[in-house]
Amino acid sequence: MMGGCQTARVSSGGATDEAALMSRGAAAMRAGNATQAIACWTDAETKYAASGSTGSQFDALIDLTAAYEAMGKFEQAEQPSDQAAALLPLLHSPARQLTVLLTQADLYTFTHREAAAEDAINEGLTLSRRLGMTRAEAGLENALGNVRVRQGQFVDAVTAYALSATLAGQSGDHAQRARALANAATAAARLPDPEQTIQFSRAAMAEITPMQTGRQKLTLLLTVGQSLESPSRTEAERIYLDAATEARATGDQQSLSYALGYEGRLLQSTGRADEALQITRQAAFISQNIQDPQASYRWERQIGQFLAERGDLDGAIAAYESAVTWLEPVRLDLTLGKGTGTGGTFQQNVGPTYYELADLLLRRADGQPDSQGTQELFRKAQQTVEQLKSAQLEDYFQDRCEGLLKGRSREIGAVDPHTAVIYFISLPDRTEILVSIGNHITRFTARVTAEQLKAQTIEFRHNLENRNTRRYLYSAQTLYDWLLRPLEPTLRGNHIDTLAFVPDGFLRTIPLAALHDGHEFLIAHYAVAVSPGLTLMDPQPIERRSPLVLEGGLSQAVFEYPALPYVKQELDSLHQLYAGRTLLDQSFIESNLRSELIGRDYTIVHIASHVEFGDNARTTYLVTYQKKLNLDAVETLILPTRYRDRPLELLTLDCCNTAADDEKSAQGMAGAAIEAGARSAVATLWPVDDEGAAMLIEDFYATLRNNPNMSKAKAMQHAQLLLLQDQDHSFRHPEYWAPYLVIGNWL
C-alpha cells in the first residue's frame, strides 16, 4: 500500500527502527517512488521528534522537503522546510544552516519568488565562503543558476552553473558536478551557441557515465539528452536509448516513460513519424499504468500533435481530450514549472494545450453546415478555453478557486435575449469569434494572428491613457474592423442592446467600449459588460428596494500614495443617494471593514482608494489607512457574504491604481470580484481622474436607483455617455470614461 512505510523492520525492543525507516525512504526515492519515501520519512521524523533526536529529526525533515519537491508539491514542501529551519537554534550547526538556505532557495525558485531565493543564496554564499565550505558553495551557485534561468538570464545562468561545477570538482562532489554541467548544457541550449551546449553536455556525460545506476543518474541523462536534441540529435538519441536500457534494468518505470517520450519527440523531428507515434504510445501506456499524471498529460498531448500533423483530426482531438483530463490534477504544479526544465509562466507551460484543442475542434467544424453537431463543436471549443480561464484564476490566486464553483449559476447566453455574448479565442494564425444569442452560436473568423492582435491591442491601450492625443483612433478603428464589424448584421438583426464580452489574452487589458466604427464609439450603441467566463453566479438584477450600502475610501495621502481629494465628494454623493455606512480615511481600516461585513448584509460595497496590482493575489494590494491588504486578505473580509441569503450584489473598486497593462493584472480584477463572492464588480483598467471619477460614479448610482428596470451595464453606459457628451469637453477623451468595466453579472 502507498499510505505508509510498511516494510520498516522492528527492533528487538518492539519499537520501529528509525534508521531503517530512513534507509527505506532513501531506497524508495532512488527507485522513483517519492510517495513511499514520504511515508517512511514522515514516520521516522515523528519518532525522532518523540525521542528528542533533534539532529536526525532535522535530516528527516530535509529529506521530506526534497521528496515533496520531486512530486511538484511545493506547498507541502514548505512545511517540513520551515520545521527544519525552526530546529536550527537547537543544533548550532553551520552545515545544517546552509542546508536550510539551499532548500529555501530551491523552494522559492520553484514558486516564482526569485528575490527571496536570491536572498537565501546570498546569505548562504557569504556563510559558506567564510567557513571554507566549498561543497555547500557549489550547491548554492547551482541554485543561483536556477534563479537566473527563471529570470531568462541564460548567459548569467551558464556562468553560475560553470562555477558550481568547478567548485564541486574541487570538493570531490561528482554528483553535484554532473548536475551543474547538465544544467549548464540546458541553459546554453537557450543561447545561439551549439558548440558550448555540446561542450557542457559531453563534460556532464563524463561525470554521469561512471555513476551508479539509479534515479539520479537517469534524471541527469534525460536532462543532457534534451539539451542535445537540437545541436546533436544522434548523441541525444543514443542517450535516450541508454537511459531506457538502464531504466528497464532497474525497474524505474517513470524514467523509462520519459526516456521513450523524449525519444518519440526526437524521432518526429527527424521525419520518422511512424516510429515516433509508436514509441510515444508506449511512453503513454507506461505513464498511465503507474498513474503518473504529468507524464501522461505530456505524452497524450504529444500523440495529439503527431496525429494532427497527419491530418487525423478525430484521433488528435481524442488524444488532446485525454491530455486535458490528465492535466487537471497537476496543472498548478506545471504552472510552477515542475518538470519543464526552465520554468516559465503559466501561459507558456499550460496554456498552449487548451488552445491547441480548441483549434482542432474549430477546424473539425470547418466546411460543415450549421447543424447540431457543429454547434456542439463550438460549445466544446468554448468549454476548453473556459477550463484555461479557470486555471488562470487558480494560478493567480494559487488555489482551486472554490468560490467560482459554488452557488447557483447559469450560462450567460441564456440570461437575456437582447444580450449577445461575444467569446474571443486568439489562436496563432487567426482570431475566432463565437457569438451566442440565446442558445445559438454564430462563428466568425478574423484573419488576424495572435501577434498582430497583441501588438494592436498594446498600441491602443498605450494611446488611450494619453489624454493629449487622439492617436488611439487608428487602433480603435482597426480593432473594430477586425473584431466587430463582421458581427454588425447579426447584432442588428437580433435587436441586441448589450454586449457581454468574454475576452481572451491581451484583449482583457483594453476597454472594448472604446472601439470605434469610424463615426462613434461602441458605447454609443451598446451597453458593454465583461465576464470572466461563460457562467454567472445566480444571475438576476440587483435588488433596488432599500439596498444596504457600505462606502469606504481614502482622501488623504498615506504611505507613498498621494491624496485623492474628490473621494470625499464621491462618498458624500453616494451617501445622499443610499444613506449608507461611510468609512473614510482614519475609519477606513481592516478591522472596521471586517466588523461591518460580518455584522450587516450589505448589498453594495463601494471602495475608492489606491489599488496596486501585482503578479498574483499575494502581491496585489488595496490600500487602507493603516496598511495595504493583499487580495487574499480582501477575499477573507468578503468571504462571509458568499453564502448568506442576501448576497453581495456589487463590489465597486473605484481606484487610482498602478496596474501594469498586462493580462495578469486584468485577470486579477475579474478574479478579485468573483473569488471574493460578489455577483458583479465595477473596476478600472488604469488610474482614473479623481474629479471625472466622482462625476461618473455619482451618475452610475443615481441611474441605478432611479431606474429600477435598468441593468448595471446600461447604467454604466449612461454614466460613460455623460462624460463623453460633456459640453465643456473636459472629460470627453476616453481616458476619463473608458477604463470602467462592469465585470460579471451585468443585469
CATH number of the domain residue 411 falls in: 3.30.420
pLDDT in tens, 209-243: 999 988 889 999 999 999 999 999 999 999 999 99
Confidence of residue 711 (pLDDT cuts 50, 70, 90): very high
Residue 161 DSSP SS3: helix
Task: For residue 637, give its domain range.
Answer: 549-744
- Contacts of residue 166, defined as CB under 8 A and 6 or more positions apart, other chains included, come to none
Rg (CA), the chain: 29
Q: Are residues 281 and 309 in the same domain?
A: yes
CB burial of residue 368 (10 Å; 0-12, 13-18, 19+): exposed
Q: Are residues 393 and 410 in the same domain?
A: no
C-alpha separations of 10 from 16, 19, 25, 719 in Å: 5, 11, 15, 76
The predicted pLDDT at position 543 comes to 65
Q: Which of 488, 512, 537 is the last residue of a domain?
A: 537
Q: Are residues 736 and 596 in the same domain?
A: yes
Q: Is residue 477 part of a domain?
A: yes
Q: Which of 364, 397, 430 is the last residue of a domain?
A: 397
What are 536's three cell numbers? 454567472
CA pair distance 299, 277, nearest whole angstrom? 10
CA pair distance 100, 603, nearest whole angstrom? 49
CA pair distance 88, 704, nearest whole angstrom? 60
- Contacts of residue 407, defined as CB under 8 A and 6 or more positions apart, other chains included, come to 537, 538, 642
Q: Are residues 477 and 438 in the same domain?
A: yes
What are 192's three cell numbers? 545561439
Is the separation of the CB atoms in 518 and 388 below 8 Å? no
How many Cβ atoms are within 10 Å of 559's Cβ, its own excluded?
A: 10
pLDDT in tens, 291-316: 899 899 999 999 999 999 999 999 99
619 vs 86, residue with greater confidence: 86
Q: Is residue 81 part of a domain?
A: no
C-alpha separations of 697 from 107, 136, 367, 570, 690 in Å: 45, 59, 48, 7, 11
Q: Are residues 584 and 501 in the same domain?
A: no
Q: Is residue 561 part of a domain?
A: yes
Q: Which of 350, 369, 397 is the last residue of a domain?
A: 397
Report, as an integer, the average pLDDT of 465-478.
93
Range with the lowest mean pLDDT among 4-13, 389-398, 594-603?
A: 4-13
CA pair distance 197, 203, nearest whole angstrom? 10
Q: Is the pLDDT of residue 517 over 80?
A: yes
Give the torsion through C-alpha atoms of 159, 160, 165, 168, to 10 deg. Answer: 150
DSSP state of 409: E
Q: Are residues 256 and 338 in the same domain?
A: yes
Closest to 227 (Cα-Cα) out of 185, 193, 176: 185
pLDDT in tens, 330-382: 766 665 544 334 455 566 778 899 999 999 999 999 978 878 899 999 999 99
How many Cβ atoms are within 10 Å of 557's Cβ, its own excluded?
A: 10
Q: Are residues 612 and 672 in the same domain?
A: yes
Q: Are residues 615 and 558 in the same domain?
A: yes
DSSP string, 564-621: -THHHHHHHHHHHHH--EEEEGGG-SHHHHHHHHHHS--SEEEEESEEE--SSGGG-E
- Contacts of residue 487, defined as CB under 8 A and 6 or more positions apart, other chains included, come to 420, 422, 433, 435, 444
Q: Are residues 314 and 333 in the same domain?
A: yes
Closest to 305 (Cα-Cα) out of 293, 285, 323: 323
pLDDT in tens, 642-680: 666 677 888 888 776 644 455 555 555 555 656 666 788
Q: Is residue 140 part of a domain?
A: no
Which residues does residue 553 pair with via DSSP β-bridges, in sequence order? 584, 608
Confidence of residue 402 (pLDDT cuts 50, 70, 90): very low
pTM: 0.86
Residue with cell 473608458: 738
pLDDT in tens, 27-50: 888 776 888 999 999 999 999 999
Q: Is residue 51 part of a domain?
A: no
Q: Is residue 508 part of a domain?
A: yes
CA pair distance 176, 140, nearest whole angstrom? 11
Domain count within the chain: 3
CATH number of the domain where residue 641 is located: 3.40.50.1460
DSSP state of 521: B
Q: Are residues 302 and 375 in the same domain?
A: yes
CATH number of the domain where residue 389 is located: 1.25.40.10
Q: Is residue 91 part of a domain?
A: no
If residue 39 lies in a helix (H) or strand (E), which one and from where to where?
helix 34-51
What are 50's three cell numbers? 518523540
Q: Are residues 573 and 443 in the same domain?
A: no
pLDDT in tens, 532-570: 777 664 566 666 667 899 999 999 999 888 898 889 999
Q: Is residue 151 part of a domain?
A: no
Q: Are residues 654 and 516 in the same domain?
A: no
Please state, for a pLDDT cut of 90, what percent of the chain lies above it: 64
How many Cβ atoms are within 10 Å of 472's Cβ, its own excluded?
A: 23
